[in-house]
Chains A and B, each alone.
Chain A
Amino acid sequence: MSANGSPPRAIPRDSFASRLIEAVAGLADRPMAWIQHAVGGRGMAYVFLAPNILFFGLFVFLPIGINMAMSLTGGTNLFLSERPFVGGDHYRALMQCGSYLDPASCREDHFWKGVSNTLKFTLFQMVAMVGTALVTALVLNRKIRGRGFFRAVYFFPVLLSPVVVALIWKWILQRDGLLNGAITLAGGEKILFFVEPGWAMFWAVFVSVWAHMGFYTLILLAGLQAIPADLYEAAEMDGTKPMRVLTRITLPLLWPNLVVVLVLVLIKAVQTFDEVFVLTGGGPGTATLMVVQYIYETAFANQVQNFGLAAAASMLLGSLLFALTMLQLWIARRKAA
């Protein structure tokens, strides 16, 4: 593109969309110009950042601060001013373990069981999710008949609320559900999926992949479509093997999208709660109890709404997640470099 020529446009000039943008954004031109005059071009960075930071401060950082204060107080009152200070009691209770490798030896065994289940779930789910989304995106990127239809089909489950997703699959997987019906028809024995810990975890992962895969497929598909066709043509002329094209052209060029997908999948997996809860109820026993479920139940579902303990648990979880995100981004950056 030339330095003084018109920039490449995503939206055709004079289209309805471009006129809409012009009309809406144009309203702010004057005030923004005054502001820029006042703060200078570089100062505009802060202006652009300000609204988001304001919301962030009010609804993320302030609550995290309150949460921290709450984790140091006890009792069942809601307002901080009415809650007695207990120091690190909640943290001590959470960390009181016979052995850190065995959740059952801890005083708050369900918290540690939740952490370990969540880690397990996250790991399995990330591999399965990224794998299937990538394969699906590759297939959907081919020139196939009815591409629009197939894309819609894979995306459709994304529209369902977590509760509905879990309910559908619960009906399919129960003792006399559709799947066991098919198994007995094929001459097999009914399997009680929600009584076997291994099966319960498998289906928890499967159902969450089923429900969200479409969204990640879409992101990867967008990345695949942006890879210039001439790269493939050049590879073809050089006689490069298909696998090599995949690893040398497709995947590296897809890397930015893959990082986005990996981060999003990780975030969503760690936050998993209602979907798995409605599907397995955290069972059998505590085999699929997630840490967010523990925190939610401690703060809400029990008669004694133990906000302090829940806050302490969420602070511990928060620091763990922070470390995980940093680690993941560090790996992604090294890989990209």
Chain B
Amino acid sequence: MQKKDMGLAVLIIIVGAIVYLRNPLFLSPINLGNTANLIGLFGLFAIGQGFVIMTGGIDLSVGSMIALLGVIFVDLVGKFGVPWPLAILITIGVGTLLGLAHGLLITRLKMQPFVVTLCGLLIYRGVARGYTGEATAGFPFGASYPELEWLTIGRSFGIPHSFLAMLIIGAVCWVVLHRSVFGRHLYAVGKNEDAARYSGIRTGLVITAAYVICAILTSIAAIYFAMFTKSVQPSSHGNFYELYAIAAAVLGGFSLRGGEGSIIGVVLGAVLLQELQNLVNLLGIPSSLNFAVMGGVILAGVLADQQFNRYRARRRAKRAMEALPSGTPSAG
């Protein structure tokens, strides 16, 4: 665990302790279970966003994609009677194609990630609303899918399966980002794309893969969300979720310029965001202030991190100056 992640973990514990002291319900099994479920749901696609941000890009289409894929999944299972394993494959397949489209538009046609995924945000939301005719997509009354429900909204030993899914997928992603050649190249591309290309890295491929990974994780999250809400209201489902993902990544130490960040960081970022949400609920703060609290904490966190980095850079510069033999700086 890096120092940065440690700092974030400490912050999570401190905030948790304060909330607990003000309202002991914080550590009640029910509250912990619910919060863990939300952490799992939001953590899944926040990790995906992390891969994209690592390249210096951004994916704004996440929320709309969750709505569109949610509608597709619910209709496949509920309306068309497609067996749920097949429906999962189709949903993830569609997501993969969308991610591939983002990646190719960005790397081949040299479009800006912000523009491409902003258009995605608008298009997917519009398609979801148009396809359903603004009607809420839901499962037929009384229908039940025991295995699917166990897998998505079930619990083992009180731990929600969404949270477990996030842990398992997070572990896989950790290996990919921190222990695979691809992950190494992702760091290099994010830091300096040209220098990475001159080092023989196929930068276009690496960047496209990051968007595909993001879309796949978002598809999985979309299925979990659809099962969690049981119905998908196409105009509001998943609204602003891309911002949660970006916020979690930034809190977790990712730089929007690329090349910085870790899986543990983004997961902890997702944890902190849900903890803050929980704090607003438990401390009786009007829930309308929810976003304001979150924004304030992110601003403070990133500011503190930046000041700390500047302090470190200054200290390095000072050490370098002291290492100089005396007399050299004098003027000629």
A binds B: no
A interface residue numbers (CB < 8 A to B): none
Binding site for A on B (CB under 8 A): none
